[in-house]
Amino acid sequence: MSRTTIGVIGGGQLARMMYEPAIKLGIGLRLLAEGPDVGAAQIFKDVMVGDYTDEATVKSFASNCQIITFDHEHVPTWILRGLVAEGKLVRPGPDALQHAQDKLLMRRRLTTSLDAPAPKWQACADAAELRAFGAEIGFPIIAKASRGGYDGHGVWKLDGPADTGIPFEQALTESAGEKVEIIGEEFVDFARELSVIVVRSPSGQAVVYPVSETIQRNGVCRETITPAPGLSDEQAAGITRLGLDIADELQITGVLAVELMQRTDGSVVVNELALRPHNTGHWTIDGAHTSQFENHLRAVLDLPLGDPRARDPWCVMVNILGGSNQDLPSELLHCFARDPKLRVELYGKDVRPGRKVGHVNCYGDDLAEVRARAEHAARYLGGEIREG
Ligand SMILES: Nc1ncnc2c1ncn2[C@@H]1O[C@H](COP(=O)(O)OP(=O)(O)O)[C@@H](O)[C@H]1O
Ligand SMILES: [Mg+2]
């Protein structure tokens, strides 16, 4: 038995969705899960339950794996550096990963090394500095915690000087053992949000998926449309180049998702980076020739990457958000009877209000029709709508 085993740290839906391509590639996956019942722990055969912020736990987990990869970005960098020092393959590595952990570090690096387009930004030590930044560029402004944010937690829109104390009161002072700082950012009154997904292997091969439009509701991704409607070839090429440049500059292994905001004049700015399969890439499972999960594993194994192109003119993904329906599979009968082309992925999570508990993918030639089908199925599965 000498088959390669990849250790995945974090037991959420992203780890869970890596399992299917791992079966096809014949590789073993081992899971370090937060608890015995999390989404991925229901699927993986080889599960260790433990705390990913504890060095001894992570080391003991890694000792039985050839390569380590991630479901999330929260493993403390110093623990990963220890693994690398011992010769373990950590993909993506800590030097790259820290740019997804720390938004301030990311802003500094992309500004100095790449001159990548960004909103105006400034690190602010206290409310007075944030007030001065707001006075300089004009309110409203955005304030962000450098670390530990997710789904809109750790992002504040400040309407005037009186609000500038809020982020300092509400931000945790520490995340994964490291200091949280506050960044002031220009409020971008964007026309829409976009995302581009790049996958890069240690050999330096990279593939880029078509650019998606992403629609957030209350800070949570609700829908993606691929390709982003109305994006010119020139704009798409510029965004593709930007994604490749960032992946190369940070020497990323695996998936890099670049979240972007598009201004009304068509130009884009980078919002943030994720170094793991990303919600805005879930459409690739059913809509692309190779899914982001398979390409992530191929990259981690340093295998040639698969074709990232879309199979159909349009692919729409809609997240199923927790609502009144506690038993999602019980509604599959209705949804599949209504739409034989519907693709559903349920994450096996406890249903809680607003929580991402699954997603649907629909694809086809007519965008309005594809969107309507996806929206209906996601709302039906979540319990938002009922039909007699
Ligand atoms: N500078 C900005 N101007 C306007 N909206 C912003 C800005 N930064 C973030 N946002 C909005 O807040 C959302 C969450 O911010 P983000 O940094 O992506 O945090 P999270 O880690 O929660 O995803 C973004 O998707 C976008 O809608
Ligand atoms: Mg985000």
Pocket of ligand 1 (CB under 6 A): 119, 142, 144, 149-152, 155, 185-188, 193, 216, 219, 259, 271-272
Q: Which atom of ligand 1 is nearest to the CA of 153?
A: 22
Quick one: which of 189, 177, 120 has its CA closest to 148?
A: 177
318 and 307 together in one domain: no
> What's residue 285's pLDDT?
98
User: Which of 261, 269, 278, 279 to mutate to test ligand 1, by most ligand atoms within 8 A of the CB atom?
Assistant: 261
Q: Which atom of ligand 1 is nearest to the CA of 190?
A: 4
Mean of per-residue pLDDT scores for the chain: 96
260 and 282 together in one domain: yes
129 and 182 together in one domain: yes
- 246-281 pLDDT tens trace: 999 999 999 999 999 999 999 999 999 999 999 999
Other C-beta atoms within 10 Å of 63: how many?
11
pLDDT > 90 fraction of the chain, expressed in percent and rounded: 93
Is 57 contained in some domain? yes
Residue in the structure block whose two tokens are 């479901």: 71
196 and 298 together in one domain: yes
Distances (CA, A) of 140 to 126, 134, 159, 263, 267: 17, 7, 4, 16, 20
249 and 266 together in one domain: yes
Is 372 contained in some domain? yes
- Which has more confidence, 1 or 229? 229
385 and 365 together in one domain: yes
Quick one: which of 112, 111, 62, 120 has its CA closest to 91?
A: 62
Residue in the structure block whose two tokens are 């292994």: 253
What does the DSSP 8-state code read for residue 301?
A: T
342 and 364 together in one domain: yes
Tokens encoding 111: 């500004």
Long-range CB contact pairs, 331-337, < 8 A, 24+: 331/380, 331/381, 331/383, 332/381, 334/380, 334/387, 335/360, 335/377, 335/380, 335/381
In the chain, the number of structural domains is 4
297 and 338 together in one domain: no
Tokens encoding 226: 């691929």
Are 14 and 345 in contact, with CB atoms under 8 Å apart? Answer: no
Is 108 contained in some domain? no
Quick one: which of 362, 367, 349, 388 has its CA closest to 15?
A: 349
Tally the residues of the chain. 388
Is 351 contained in some domain? yes
Amino acid at 12: G
Strand arrangement of the beta sheet that strand 5-9 belongs to: 46-49, 28-33, 5-9, 67-70, 89-90
Q: Which atom of ligand 1 is nearest to the CA of 119?
A: 1
What CATH number is given to the structural domain containing 173? 3.30.1490.20
Give dist(CA 17, CA 281) in Å, integer. 12
Query: Is residue 1 scored above 70 in pLDDT?
Result: no
DSSP output for 52-72: TT-HHHHHHHHTT-SEEEESS
- 3-27 pLDDT tens trace: 799 999 999 999 999 999 999 999 9
Mean pLDDT value of segment 178-203: 96
- 60-75 pLDDT tens trace: 999 999 999 999 999 9
Domain final position from 162, 186, 210: 186
Q: Which atom of ligand 1 is nearest to the CA of 152?
A: 22
Is 102 contained in some domain? no
DSSP output for 190-212: -SEEEEEEEEE-TTS-EEEPPPE
> Does an H or E element contain 258, and which?
strand 254-262
Ligand 1 atom 21: residue of nearest CA: 150
Query: Is residue 382 scored above 90 in pLDDT?
Result: yes
User: Which of 124, 133, 155, 262 to mutate to test ligand 1, by most ligand atoms within 8 A of the CB atom?
Assistant: 155
Query: Is residue 92 scored above 50 in pLDDT?
Result: yes
Domain final position from 44, 73, 90: 90
- 146-175 pLDDT tens trace: 998 888 889 999 999 999 999 999 988 877
Mean pLDDT value of segment 110-133: 97
Domain final position from 136, 165, 186: 186
307 and 211 together in one domain: yes
Other C-beta atoms within 10 Å of 82: how many?
17
Phi, psi of 380 (to 5 degrees): -65, -45
212 and 277 together in one domain: yes
Mean pLDDT value of segment 200-221: 95
Is 97 contained in some domain? no
The alpha carbon of 218 and the centre of ligand 2 are apart by a number of angstroms equal to 12
What CATH number is given to the structural domain containing 77? 3.40.50.20
For β-strands 67-70 and 89-90, DSSP reports them as parallel
The alpha carbon of 216 and the centre of ligand 1 are apart by a number of angstroms equal to 9
180 and 206 together in one domain: no
Give dist(CA 128, CA 25) in Å, integer. 55
> What's residue 388's pLDDT?
57
What CATH number is given to the structural domain containing 223? 3.30.470.20
Is 96 contained in some domain? no
Domain hosting residue 86, numbered range: 5-90
Is 334 contained in some domain? yes
82 and 39 together in one domain: yes
User: Which stretches within the chain are classed as H helix?
Assistant: 13-25, 55-62, 77-85, 94-101, 103-109, 127-137, 166-170, 233-249, 284-287, 292-300, 332-338, 367-382
